[in-house]
Amino acid sequence: MEWFDPTLNVQYLHPSEITSGMRWAREVEKPIGPGGAMKPCTELTPVWDVSLGASGGYYGTRYLFRLSTGELRTAQSNDRVPIDPEIIPGNRAPHNGTWITNEPFGFHDHKPGVTPDRHWYENSKQVEKWVAKDGRVYRLLTHRYRMFWVCRWDNGAKWLGPTRETFELAGQQLDAIVEGRGW
């Protein structure tokens, strides 16, 4: 018996077969009522970005999947991944290109020993700003420790891009967004 809900269209796929808009299946515990009782169920989360990472040694190609929640999942070329392969238009990434600003604001806050995102944001200054036609606002920020990153404000939600050590690297990310190759 499979761990996922049999009424769902979950199949095990090779990582190279997975595309944006498919949904990653995972088993989660959900409360079923007062008193703390939990029930296992299947959660399907859209895949918004697929890329290749550094090889995992003897295990072949390493695939990187960024879910719509900002979470990063990986799979090796010898893995099979539980996926709902049906692509529903609402599950596709909202913009074209590489998803650069892919971590929701506060994504790191729950990790012990990690400085909260709010600290970095409040102690940073804006270097450049660009506004997309649909109202998304992108800011290239720098921190006094000479770190740079691109942030996106999208319908009230803040998303952060990965930090970069030089202005040039962060500037390349912002340039990709402005040129329509990223978001």
Q: What's the whole-model pTM score?
A: 0.78
Residue 86 pLDDT more than 80? yes
Q: What tokens does 95 get?
A: 């913009």
- What percent of the chain shows pLDDT beyond 70? 95
Q: State residue 58's pLDDT score.
A: 67
